[in-house]
Amino acid sequence: MGVLAALVLLAGLALAAGKGVYLLGALGFVVALLLSVTLHEAGHFLTARHYGMKATQFFVGFGPTLWSRRTGETEWGVKAIPAGGFVKIVGMTPLEDVAPEDESRVFYKAPVRQKVVVLAAGSTVHFVLAGLVLFGGSYLIGAPEEQAPAVGAVARCIAPDRIGVEDLATDTDPCTLPGSLPAPATAAGLRVGEVVTAVDGEPVSSSLELTTALRAAGSRPVELTLERDDAARTVSLTPATLQRFARTETGVDPDRLEPVGTIGIQVQPRVDTERLGLAASLDQTRDLVVLQLEGIKTTVTTKLGSITKVYSEDRDPAGFVGIVGVGRISGEVIESEETAGVKALTFVSIVAGLNLFVGLFNLLPLLPLDGGHIAVAVYEGARDRIRRLRGYRGPFQRVDYAKLAPLTYGVAGFFFLFTVVLLGADIVNPIRISQ
């Protein structure tokens, strides 16, 4: 009951601090996580029962039992620590004591194919969930689509870029820099929050289009069509031509300058969602799955070294993050100023990414993970087949789990330490999507 009391207290503090929306996102992630865990264990449970194995327990969480009930031969319940779940299948290894009446239903005596199906069922559920969540988001919400940009900020002065000086302090006054000029946007009366819908009558549908049009205008007068609160107006102004860093297909080239038009505004991208048809939703789901898998691959390969910096000021925002960190990010997503559709799609992507990662992680061929048990089962089956091809006619030989115990404990200890390190970092040095 202590965990529940802590959650209630946390919720009360968040609401009192005006963080109700943030709390909604964080708790939404927790609910999605627990639902995923429950369905993962349901995959093991249902396939085990399908093959006649005996499952005596089905619990969400670990530690002290908060609630349970028994139906038939299975005890169902919830435990105090919401950090996973488990299904107790009789005879997962030959080391367990098994009642005589259950000998015919133990897991380790099942055919290799059946054991692999039961063990892989949890990860399979995660993969199916990820696909369904992404498809549901694509079909019901749509795809992110950039809209006409807004004026994010209006400067008093503008100044040319200088090679070798890429970043200026945020408190630097542009009016004090060499070659500075009064900003045309200020003189024309542009206001923060106005949406730029057209330049010289040509519609603008992205921040890149607006920036490109203004840079290309040089010192030629332009006419901007602006909207705010459903009211439209037209403003005429003349950009100033300044030396700016050249733009390339991959970004900005800090070693090359070019004369371009500038008016002294910060262009703020705006994104909303566009509904998709069935075929387009399927295509987007496929693309998102590939993108998520590539992201996971990058994180566990090129980002592996970032674990040493999780407590430093330069913690990699695209590096490893724990469950607490993901919950925090989910809260920030829901609390952000994006549209409801963009928030929902981002949240869906987080949930799908979590399921893909957990599904793949559980298939690693290391005990005590499901993949480790699968590796043992496949090894036992392959070894038995080779022996019988050589004339062996004795009983099926099981792997001695007692000899694997040190390796199992070592792997479990490493993952536990890794989890604790990330947990601490997510609390004292969190990754934030906004500052």
Domains of the chain: 2-140+352-428 (no CATH), 145-272 (2.30.42.10)
The tens digit of pLDDT for each residue in 174-192 reads 888 888 999 999 999 999 9
Q: Residue 1's pLDDT band (boundaries 50, 70, 90)?
A: very low
Query: Which residues, in sequence order, are CB contacts of 72 under 8 Å at separation 6+?
Result: none
Q: What is the 3-state secondary structure (H, E, C) of 121-135?
A: HHHHHHHHHHHHHHH
- In the numeric block, which tokens belong to residue 47? 């396939």
**Segment 376-399 mean pLDDT:** 91
Q: What is the pLDDT of residues 101-134, one digit of tens each?
A: 999 999 989 999 999 999 999 999 999 999 999 9
- Does the annotation count 101 as an active-site position? no
Both tokens of residue 202?
A: 């040509």
Q: What residue type is assigned to position 283 of the chain?
A: D
Q: How far apart are CA 261 and CA 244, in angstroms?
A: 9
As a whole number, mean pLDDT of residues 157-170 equals 74
Compute the distance between CA of residue 260 and CA of residue 217 in angstroms, rounded to an integer: 7
**CA distance between the termini of the chain:** 35
Nearest to 107 by CA among 387, 408, 373: 373
- Of 113-122, 198-207, 423-432, give the lowest mean pLDDT range: 423-432
Q: pTM value? A: 0.81
Determine the longest span between alpha carbons in the chain, in angstroms.
94
pLDDT of residue 4: 45
Pick the catalytic residue: 41, 194, 335, 338? 41
